Chains A and B, each alone.
Chain A
């Protein structure tokens, strides 16, 4: 008998349902199949109305994040064989996000927060193009490279209980991306980001559960980024107390010395 696996999928149709319910689908269990392949099989062969996001199917685009047996996962990188023949695997939309339909979450709130931390190079005194490229040493690159690997898959938001408890919390990925630019020696925007980051809804909202780092498929370590920024912000605050006049923004100092 061919191997099978059962997917228990959360279904929600906004025009019909008041809350999601689960529907079971039996799919063939193939060695090379990931959860996303099973979802595509269901959409192709069983129920075309099943709705979910996906694109690259190779862990780059960050679209196919879902809760697989209660864990935030990229479904394109989660093999079915891990769960075994005949197992029931529960697929839900990413936790803490509003659900639009079936497995699709609303990302608008995340995108607003992402914009708030200004995750781009702020470089008002940029030299003209004729001055040549902006060279960076491997050491300068190494300072922020890890945090630049983020693919905005929002698995870290689904892992973070603070996101679930406090809707205004800026959240792990956005804070890590802010730190990515703060630590870039081409960037001069640390002072502009300070008000959003050193705020109860910013880094001080984080209680260091550390789950964001554990679930990150790109090993970005958002928890680390946030704790490091807490240290920078605290030192900045102490400096401003001790040297109210001569004090220079500690962030800027860290990024540019």
Chain B
């Protein structure tokens, strides 16, 4: 018992985690831990993609406000959207949103195991309807935007 007390008293908080190994090596994690490994990098990109999602939400809110303020304001808003900087930003944000959607749909089956007749439904059966709905809604929106008036 006395030995244990000495070990704990002489050590930092970390070492106090064990009574049996007074000396060990613990590597510190670098701030750039996510750069070294492809899987970690895709994770960080997935997390960052939420900024792109937020960006589109804010943009849509501004678009709605311009729409409410009359045709002149809306025309000004539309012309501003055509600036090369905003086109580039939106293109990047779009790529991120697509990435976000795909990774989200692929993650869905793991978070929500669907059971039918006591058996777990295969993962693609949960992901597939999401993709199908995505395609249908996208096609509908494309039709709305591209049809000749």
Contacts and interface: CB of A to CB of B under 8 A. Distances in A.
A178 B113 CA distance: 17
Contacts of A210: 43, 107, 110
**What band does the interface of chain B fall in when counting residues whose beta carbon is under 8 Å from A?**
20 to 34
Contact of B25 (A19, A164, A224, A227): A19
A224 B114 CA distance: 12
B29 interface: yes
A129 interface: no
A161 B34 contact: yes
Contact of A227 (B18, B24, B111, B118): B111
B33 A164 contact: yes
A257 interface: no
A70 B38 CA distance: 12
Given A139-B118, A210-B43, A98 B112 contact: no
Contacts of B119: 139, 142
A161 B47 CA distance: 14
A164 B14 CA distance: 13
Interface in B1-25: 14, 17-21, 23-25
A228 B112 contact: yes
By Cβ-Cβ distance, the 8 closest A-B pairs, closest first, are A139-B118, A227-B111, A108-B18, A224-B110, A14-B23, A98-B24, A164-B29, A98-B26
12 contacts: A12-B25, A98-B25, A112-B17, A165-B29, A167-B14, A209-B43, A210-B110, A221-B110, A223-B110, A227-B107, A228-B111, A230-B111
